[in-house]
Amino acid sequence: MIFLVGNFGVGKSTLLDREVISNKGIFQEIEPNLFVLGKTTVGADSLSSMKKQDVINRIINNKDKNIIICGVYYQQLADVQRLKFFFDIVIVYLKTSFENNKKRIESRGRQINKQTFLLKNKSMVSMIKKSQADCLRIFVIDNNKPKDAVRNEFDKILLEVLYEKG
């Protein structure tokens, strides 16, 4: 299982914006046996109308799948802690500067508050440090690079993680 984490609007969904091979309810298959949690490849935030515990239970019931979880609502330490008993978890963190995050969000006609950005980053860094202490694998991608470079790096991580799993 891969948690793709990063602040609001940093491009997590953009990395997963791929053709859907098949729709399996709350799982979107984007490659053979590689699924994005969500009603669309936008990610898990598209499941906000569902109870979180129901979604977690459905994830656990699909532990034979390679799942990518992308979405701010599901990148909490409690989620990682709960799911690590059922999955080998890898965290991919899109590390983005406030300036770059602000540009991305403003290009969509929205605003970002620096305080909110800093609080969310603090929470993510805390989750990552705790996950490192639990010996989970962490990859950090410099998300201030061009989108193609970030996508290439993410795709290499996917191949590495999926190849190791078999």
- List the domains of the chain with CATH numbers: 2-165 (3.40.50.300)
Asked if residues 131 and 91 have their Cβ atoms less than 8 Å apart, the reply is yes
Q: What is the pLDDT of residue 44?
A: 84
Q: What is the pTM of this model?
A: 0.91
Q: What is the pLDDT of residue 72?
A: 77
Compute the chain's Rg from CA coordinates.
15
Q: What is the pLDDT of residue 41?
A: 67
Buried b / exposed e along 31-43 (16+ C-beta atoms within 10 A): eeebbbbbbebbb
Q: What is the pLDDT of residue 26?
A: 92
Q: What is the pLDDT of residue 103?
A: 93
Ranges of H-type helices in 51-97: 52-60, 77-83
Residues written for the chain? 166
Q: What is the pLDDT of residue 101?
A: 92
The tokens describing 24, both together, are 């399996």
Rounded CA separation 77/63 (Å): 19
Q: What is the pLDDT of residue 33?
A: 86
Q: What is the pLDDT of residue 35?
A: 94
- Average pLDDT, consecutive stretches of 10 residues, N- to C-terminus, the chain (166 residues): 91 87 90 89 81 92 92 83 93 95 90 90 89 90 95 94 72
Q: What is the pLDDT of residue 135?
A: 85
Strand, helix or coil for residue 40: coil
